[in-house]
Structure 1
Amino acid sequence: MAAAMEGGNSWQPGANFVANLWREFSPALVETGRHISWWLAFGLILAFLPYFPYSKHIHLLMGPFNFITRPTRKRWGLLAPLNFDDESIEQFGAARLTDLDQTHLVDAFACIMCNRCQDVCPAYLTGKELSPSALEINKRYYILENMGELATDGADALPLFEYAISQSAVWACTTCGACVEVCPVGNQPMVDILAMRRNQVLMESAFPYQLKGAFTGLERNNNPWQMSDHRLTWAGSLDFSVPTVEENPAFEVLFWVGCAGAFDPDAQKISRAIATALNAAGVNFAVLGQKEACTGDMARRAGNEYLFAQMAQKNIEILNEIGADKKRIVTGCPHCLHTLGQEYADFGGKYTVCHHTQFIAELVREGKLKLKHNISEKITFHDPCYLGRYSREYNPPREILAKTGAIVVEMGRAKNNSFCCGGGGAQMWKEEEKGAQAVNVNRYLEAAAAGAETLAVGCPFCGRMLKDAHTTEGIPPLKIQDVAEIVVTAIEQKG
């Protein structure tokens, strides 16, 4: 109507076209129509305002607020420790909505219901009950329906399992962090799930019975495998000796073997390969041997924070005693990498830790480890969640593989968009929740479709899960090797 009265505007072609409808009307009638339209539009806005807080459009305000108020984490994926010495604390973990951190209540209103988290969730995509977006939306509906009671006396009688999420969904999470990575407004549904696991383990003692064996193994044998074998058995077949810190107190690099590397037969091959690479490069290294214990990662991800704290304090005492806080630590396990390098800091253990692919890539760049260009096959690399999304390391494994002459091909989901192997979040130690497909099979089929001959991994748990998928009937065969095992076949022997 303004265009009809005041003339057309070349920047408003749509308005100019519609203005032709009013050009035959009198100026007074058009002016009246203009005022009516203005007040009608303004009235509709005012009518919408009371509904605005109850609609998904509230994310326009709550999204930025969520970014501003969310907890400052020193590193991606870190969990806040619990204070078990404070006797005034009566609740550990989250049983009810009000047990969650306040910023996670804001998550529910910041959610834009785009379902991106759901579309990358390994559990959801393989038919499990878990939907990260449904968790946030259910929280929002509950808050809106009970806002009066929650605002007045804080009464919150209904457990989260009654309306927000099922127990099966909570135990289906692999803690891969894909939901956190992809969320455009900074929501962290994974942290809510881990808080609920803490409640189930610490308060209710209600968790998948298979985890009991892993917890017992940690308590009695310092490893979830429940193995009592010597932790250096893997090194017996090497043609050189692997010194312990007692035998080589002047070590420059501590090789943290990890429980898988010490006890799992396939992972022992990785340990031997890493040690071989370190030895070939002339690295002055040592291992803890029997002094090494599990970092406690699986306990923390399973919700047993008390057991994790015990393992952390025990390891920190030993590491500080041998001076590891002044040296470098190399490990073949991304879970150990994250726990030692990031999570132990909250317990007083500050260490410089790197993954074996990072360290080997460094040795190759410095010319300390020379590789023959003798591998010509196609290799695809599976990014472990705790090396990629958690530690932000994507290039070293690919760099090393390229140095061996291999043709590196990528899967459809790679790097920060990588798909989980299905072993994280303590899934390695329990039966997978019911669904349409196993997570590891989903990932293995994607690797097979990439057209590679070899599937390279950088995590002993990824290796185990993908090898298990390899045995599934009807799945095309792929050779599965750790990057370190591939490197060993390409090491140029010193003349």
Structure 2
Amino acid sequence: MEATREIYWNVNHALIWVMYLFAFLALGGCAWGFWSRLPLYRQGKPLDRLDRLSLRLKLMVRGALTQAKVLRVQVPGTLHAFFFWGFLLLFIGTLLIMLQADLTAPLAGWTFLKGTFYKGYSLTLDLAGMIAILMLAGLFVRRFLVRPPALPTKRDDYLAHALLFTILITGFVVEALRMAATEVHQNPELARLSPGGLLLTPLFAGMTPAGISITHKALWWIHFFLAMAFIVAIPFTKLRHLFTDPANYLFTDLRPKGAIATINLEDETAEQFGAAKAADLAWKDIYDADACTLCKRCQDRCPAWNTEKPLSPMRVVQQVGELALNDPQGDLCRYVTEEVLWDCTTCRACQEICPVDIEHVNKILEMRRNLALMEGKFPGDEVRGAMGNYEVNGNPFGLAWAERGAWAEGLDVVTLESGEPFDVMYFVGCYASFDRRNREVAKAFARICSAAGIRLGILGKEEKCCGEPPRKLGNEYQYQTMAQENIERIKGYGVREIVTTCPHCFNTLARDYRELGLEVPVRHYSTLLAELVQQGRLQLEPGESFDCTYHDSCYIGRYADIFEPPREVVQLLGGTIAEMDRNRMESFCCGGGGGRILAEEKVGTRISAARVQMAGETGAPMLVSNCPFCLTMFEDGIKTGGLEGSLAARDLAELVAARLPAPGSGR
């Protein structure tokens, strides 16, 4: 007997048109539901997210089918991914039935659901359905019984689980009834290839053929209408993410990580800078609320949320969508609240872990722009004072611009205005120029470059802050003013290459300044040090091995994907790294990003203290970083966290410089 089965067995074929009528009605209702949401998204500003379409389509297909980003969180990710794959196979199986029953068989007389193919088809679909039920049960237990802290559970979650469970279970019951009547005794070998249905057939062993027929027919239609209800519910519930999430891969931001739209401050027709209401954001920012699955991965990784502050990236995304839907002209900054907006360190942990490419950070930055440029508001008086210092002195400390290059006295470092030859321009930054602790880092880096035969040139008193902290605090005007002056001087001196010891300067010069016309290559010193050590261009004194832990700065790690070069330097120096639980892409912010280096931290635990505590838990006596903000925050965190004497903060450059031969040693 050939392996196959009758399509639509026991269903009155004269009523198949009813099935298709309701199927088209359900699909129409689903389409109308999504169409009705388009005006919601169109409130936002235009944004081209269909450029480089072939690449975007690849990202969409790859992201949806591989579930790679979903799988980054092991347990719930695995449950969700396998459920998705199982349900997808069941959907494909349904399409194949429709293809044969309504196209190939009646039009060409070709049936392909038979023989070996049908055996594989039957087994695959049953296994897919069983896996889907098991994974859905796991997700049910996690959400409704385990209840992870702060995981929001709403009506939509109950509806989705109820519909999916009943659709899957009734599907197997319908199959079991058909098998009880047509396969279990007639073709037992084929029946074994439908293990899900076979498992349930004993339930109907005592039923008469007429009873099986009636029950099967009733449940077949119940199963069908449940599936149609599911289709209709998609655009009106959380289930819409079945479509909005793959589309969000299509709409992903293809610019360099952390790119921010540069405001045309000379546009005299502009009446609004930043986002005062939802419509001031881009349409993608509103759309993100529909793509959000409320999985809270972003919230779980937010350093502000994890130190008892009110910021939840997940909640911010939802609030944008809520206001766009319910009060389009509402005050967005008040709805989200200023406290929440100022808490963000722009560490990007939320965006990197998001399984559906939601963009949290720039929403917050646009609202900050409104607060700073339109309302003149900042987190506190200390920040307002720093803004005044930037305007007058080009640095947040209010120190004299003429002293900016004083740290380099006695070192083989030249100022560009002197006209002396140099190899690489060192953009020093404010902290390495003025902060006593970070000046030591600048000196160490200069000595390393000199030992490697690299002569550094600096702008000295002509250098101003790169503008990153004020920009991240919403003060685009202050950023562009200082940036234009820096760019003009860099271009004027014909600089061919720039190196920085500050990740914030690095990202700003390498990425943001390009929009303002700077095309000079920029690199962070950690990659330069790795290159110098690996190539043997530094004669280093042998030293004792040492233990340490290493902190991935957000703006070098998540923003620039530089993880291994600093570690390689430490290891080549004889260091053994005890990794913190939160490392590399999962690193925990020091608390200084997003302009927070300038602001007092008044709510909850200090982020720096939390990170230093993580370092202390490794048992390592040294915390190594490669960012002036991180070093400053860790020095403070060690003091306030009670770890003085047991943990010391060091910069990567200090470790390398400590191995350089002493001057006059002859080496």
Determine if the TM-score, normalized by the shorter chain, exceeds 0.5. Answer: yes
- Residue in 2 that maps onto 1:172: 343
Which AA in structure 2 matches 1:17? L
Bigger Rg over Cα: 2
- Residue in 1 that maps onto 2:632: 464
Q: 1:113 aligns with which of 294, 304, 326?
A: 294
Which AA in structure 2 matches 1:113? L
Is contact 1:281–1:369 with CA below 8 Å preserved after alignment?
A: yes
Which AA in structure 1 matches 2:181? M
SS in structure 2 at match of 1:20: helix
After TM superposition, give the deviation of residue 49 of structure 1 in Å: 4.0
After TM superposition, give the deviation of residue 352 of structure 1 in Å: 1.0
- Residue in 1 that maps onto 2:392: 220
Q: 1:384 aligns with which of 528, 553, 563?
A: 553
Q: Spell out, residue by residue over 1:229-251, the C-alpha distance to the aligned partner (whole angstroms, 9 max, x if none).
A: 51122123x4x432112335432
- Residue in 2 that maps onto 1:134: 315
Q: 1:408 aligns with which of 550, 554, 577?
A: 577
Map 1:175-190 → 2, pairs under 5 A? 175-190=346-361
Q: Spell out, residue by residue over 1:398-442, the C-alpha distance to the aligned partner (whole angstroms, 9 max, x if none).
A: 11111111112211111111100001111111111412x110000
SS in structure 1 at match of 2:418: coil
Map 1:426-437 → 2, pairs under 5 A? 426-435=595-604, 437=605
After TM superposition, give the deviation of residue 272 of structure 1 in Å: 0.3
- Residue in 1 that maps onto 2:216: 34
- CA distance in 1 between counterparts of 2:218 and 2:334 reads 50
Q: 2:192 aligns with which of 10, 18, 21?
A: 10
- CA distance in 1 between counterparts of 2:307 and 2:544 reads 35
Q: Does 1:273 align with 2:444?
A: yes
Is contact 1:172–1:433 with CA below 8 Å preserved after alignment?
A: no
Q: Spell out, residue by residue over 1:323-375, the C-alpha distance to the aligned partner (whole angstroms, 9 max, x if none).
A: 12xx2211110000000111101111112111111111111222211323413
After TM superposition, give the deviation of residue 13 of structure 1 in Å: 2.5
Q: Percent identity?
A: 38
Q: Does 1:486 align with 2:655?
A: yes
After TM superposition, give the deviation of residue 6 of structure 1 in Å: 2.3
Relative distance call for 1:138 and 1:5 in structure 2 (3 A) is: farther
- CA distance in 2 between counterparts of 1:474 and 1:261 reads 26
* Higher mean C-alpha deviation, range 287-296 or range 485-494: 485-494
Q: Spell out, residue by residue over 1:86-125, the C-alpha distance to the aligned partner (whole angstroms, 9 max, x if none).
A: 2222111111111111111111011111100000000000
After TM superposition, give the deviation of residue 309 of structure 1 in Å: 1.1
Is contact 2:369–2:476 with CA below 8 Å preserved after alignment?
A: yes
Map 1:276-287 → 2, pairs under 5 A? 276-287=447-458
Q: Spell out, residue by residue over 1:119-163, the C-alpha distance to the aligned partner (whole angstroms, 9 max, x if none).
A: 0000000000000111122333444546xxxxxxxxx22112444
Is contact 2:613–2:641 with CA below 8 Å preserved after alignment?
A: no
- CA distance in 1 between counterparts of 2:648 and 2:602 reads 27
After TM superposition, give the deviation of residue 445 of structure 1 in Å: 0.4
SS in structure 1 at match of 2:235: helix
After TM superposition, give the deviation of residue 479 of structure 1 in Å: 1.3
- CA distance in 1 between counterparts of 2:192 and 2:568 reads 54
SS in structure 2 at match of 1:243: strand
Q: 1:475 aligns with which of 643, 649, 654?
A: 643
- CA distance in 1 between counterparts of 2:406 and 2:286 reads 49
Relative distance call for 1:53 and 1:110 in structure 2 (3 A) is: same
- CA distance in 2 between counterparts of 1:16 and 1:368 reads 71
Q: Does 1:47 align with 2:215?
A: no
Q: Does 1:346 align with 2:510?
A: no
Relative distance call for 1:127 and 1:396 in structure 2 (3 A) is: same
Is contact 1:413–1:419 with CA below 8 Å preserved after alignment?
A: yes
- Residue in 1 that maps onto 2:284: 103
SS in structure 2 at match of 1:307: helix
Which AA in structure 1 matches 2:455? N
- CA distance in 2 between counterparts of 1:396 and 1:47 reads 54
Which AA in structure 1 matches 2:521? T
Is contact 2:412–2:446 with CA below 8 Å preserved after alignment?
A: no
Which AA in structure 1 matches 2:251? T
After TM superposition, give the deviation of residue 20 of structure 1 in Å: 1.4
Q: 1:447 aligns with which of 609, 615, 622?
A: 615
Which AA in structure 2 matches 1:251? F
Relative distance call for 1:365 and 1:26 in structure 2 (3 A) is: same
- Residue in 1 that maps onto 2:268: 87
- Residue in 1 that maps onto 2:73: none
After TM superposition, give the deviation of residue 29 of structure 1 in Å: 2.7
Is contact 1:382–1:455 with CA below 8 Å preserved after alignment?
A: yes
Q: Spell out, residue by residue over 1:172-200, the C-alpha distance to the aligned partner (whole angstroms, 9 max, x if none).
A: 00010100111010001111111100000
* Higher mean C-alpha deviation, range 220-229 or range 259-268: 220-229
- Residue in 1 that maps onto 2:89: none
After TM superposition, give the deviation of residue 300 of structure 1 in Å: 0.7
RCO comparison, higher one (Cα < 8 Å, 6+)? 1
- CA distance in 1 between counterparts of 2:180 and 2:375 reads 71
- Residue in 2 that maps onto 1:150: none
- CA distance in 2 between counterparts of 1:255 and 1:306 reads 25
- CA distance in 2 between counterparts of 1:84 and 1:474 reads 46
Q: Does 1:235 align with 2:412?
A: no
Relative distance call for 1:18 and 1:346 in structure 2 (3 A) is: same
State TM-score, norm by structure 2. Answer: 0.70
SS in structure 1 at match of 2:259: coil
- CA distance in 2 between counterparts of 1:473 and 1:381 reads 18
Which AA in structure 2 matches 1:232? G
After TM superposition, give the deviation of residue 11 of structure 1 in Å: 3.7
- Residue in 2 that maps onto 1:211: 383
SS in structure 1 at match of 2:561: coil
- Residue in 2 that maps onto 1:151: none
- CA distance in 1 between counterparts of 2:321 and 2:403 reads 52
Map 1:241-280 → 2, pairs under 5 A? 241-280=412-451
Gaps of 5+ in 2: 1-176, 185-190
- Residue in 1 that maps onto 2:111: none
Which AA in structure 1 matches 2:575? A
Is contact 1:168–1:433 with CA below 8 Å preserved after alignment?
A: no
- CA distance in 2 between counterparts of 1:115 and 1:7 reads 47
Map 1:253-402 → 2, pairs under 5 A? 253-324=424-495, 327-402=496-571
Structure richer in helix, relative to its length? 2
- CA distance in 1 between counterparts of 2:267 and 2:519 reads 24
* Higher mean C-alpha deviation, range 205-214 or range 482-491: 205-214
Q: Spell out, residue by residue over 1:187-233, the C-alpha distance to the aligned partner (whole angstroms, 9 max, x if none).
A: 01111111100000011112223211111111111111111151122
Which AA in structure 2 matches 1:395? E
- CA distance in 1 between counterparts of 2:542 and 2:223 reads 70
- CA distance in 2 between counterparts of 1:108 and 1:473 reads 38
State TM-score, norm by structure 1. Answer: 0.93
- CA distance in 2 between counterparts of 1:489 and 1:157 reads 59
C-alpha RMSD of matched pairs (Å):
1.7
Relative distance call for 1:337 and 1:455 in structure 2 (3 A) is: same
Which AA in structure 1 matches 2:404? R
- CA distance in 1 between counterparts of 2:542 and 2:577 reads 13
